[in-house]
């Protein structure tokens, strides 16, 4: 987890529940939703986006510093909680960005209510089952296997040491808790919603889909299916890149995001 002097870590209250939040920057609002591994804190790409946007990085219900309300059991429940979170922050005309499971959540949130969502950015998003390939098993494998799945070439990651070092006992507890929550949300059906492609046909919000061509967790075919399902979506595929382009190919990722945002 990384922080900078320009980052503010706070707790906000959503429907009576404390929610951990990192925020920074100034300008229009951009809300980032993390994946199944949990909130990794304020990252270098958040810092770069914060030069033009007020960036909010929140721990979703059941992850990291945010407790799970007793009624949150499914991705749909999580989306309703997140909409309450948006209201608590008073976000209007905001950019919604989600990675992996967070991309799935962002897509479902837009399908529920997109009035205040100015643009969507889905990065290696789960949520749609591929037809020709498979979503990888991530819950019943070792942490090292998940790291190997996540990156095509870890030597490209600027802070690769953070992903290669042994976790502390505290980090192991957080990771276990996050994995338990992600399993609760994503296990059946596994990392997808069969109805999602049908919901997305009504989502005309400008949408950027960013995928690593060598994504070994959520195959690029899923990005193609998202693009086919959404009437205003564009797929950007980054070569020599795995499941986390913002970390593995940050320059290419940020170039794609900035170009997209300049046009919305």
Parts of the chain with a pLDDT under 50: 1-5
The dihedrals phi and psi of 8, each to the nearest 5 degrees, come to -120, 120
Nearest to 30 by CA among 15, 20, 45, 17: 45
Q: Tens digits of per-residue pLDDT, 169-221?
A: 999 999 999 999 999 999 999 999 999 999 999 999 999 999 999 999 999 99
Q: Tens digits of per-residue pLDDT, 31-53?
A: 999 999 999 999 999 999 999 99
Structure tokens at 3: 């922080």
Q: At what angle do helices 101-112 and 75-89 cross, to 10 degrees?
A: 70
| Alpha-carbon 50 to chain mean position | 17
**Would you state the pLDDT for residue 4?**
46
**Cα-only R_g, the chain:** 17
Range list of H helices, the chain = 44-49, 75-89, 101-112, 143-150, 161-164, 169-186, 196-200, 220-229, 245-248, 250-262
**Would you state the pLDDT for residue 143?**
86
């Amino acid at each position: 987890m990384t922080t900078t002097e320009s980052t503010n870590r706070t707790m906000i209250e959503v429907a009576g529940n404390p929610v951990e939040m990192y925020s920074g920057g100034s300008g229009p609002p951009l809300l980032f939703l993390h994946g199944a591994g949990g909130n990794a804190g304020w990252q270098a790409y958040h810092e770069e986006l914060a030069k033009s946007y007020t960036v909010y990085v929140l721990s979703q219900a059941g992850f990291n510093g945010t407790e799970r309300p007793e009624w949150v059991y499914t991705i749909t429940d999580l989306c309703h909680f997140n909409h309450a979170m948006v209201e608590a922050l008073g976000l209007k005309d905001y950019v919604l960005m989600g990675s992996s499971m967070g991309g799935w959540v962002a897509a479902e949130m837009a399908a529920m209510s997109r009035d205040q969502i100015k643009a969507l950015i889905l990065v290696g998003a789960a949520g749609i089952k591929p037809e020709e390939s498979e979503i990888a098993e991530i819950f019943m494998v070792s942490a090292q296997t998940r790291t190997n799945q996540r990156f095509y070439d870890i030597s490209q990651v600027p802070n690769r040491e953070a992903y290669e070092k042994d976790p502390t006992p505290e980090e192991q507890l957080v990771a276990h808790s996050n994995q338990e929550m992600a399993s609760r949300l994503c296990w059946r059906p596994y990392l997808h919603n069969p109805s999602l492609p049908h919901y997305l046909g009504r989502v005309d919000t400008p949408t950027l889909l960013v995928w690593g061509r060598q994504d070994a967790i959520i195959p690029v075919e899923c990005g193609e299916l998202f693009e086919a399902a959404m009437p205003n979506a564009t797929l950007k595929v980054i070569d020599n890149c795995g499941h986390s382009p913002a970390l593995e190919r940050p320059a290419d990722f940020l170039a794609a995001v900035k170009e997209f945002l300049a046009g919305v």
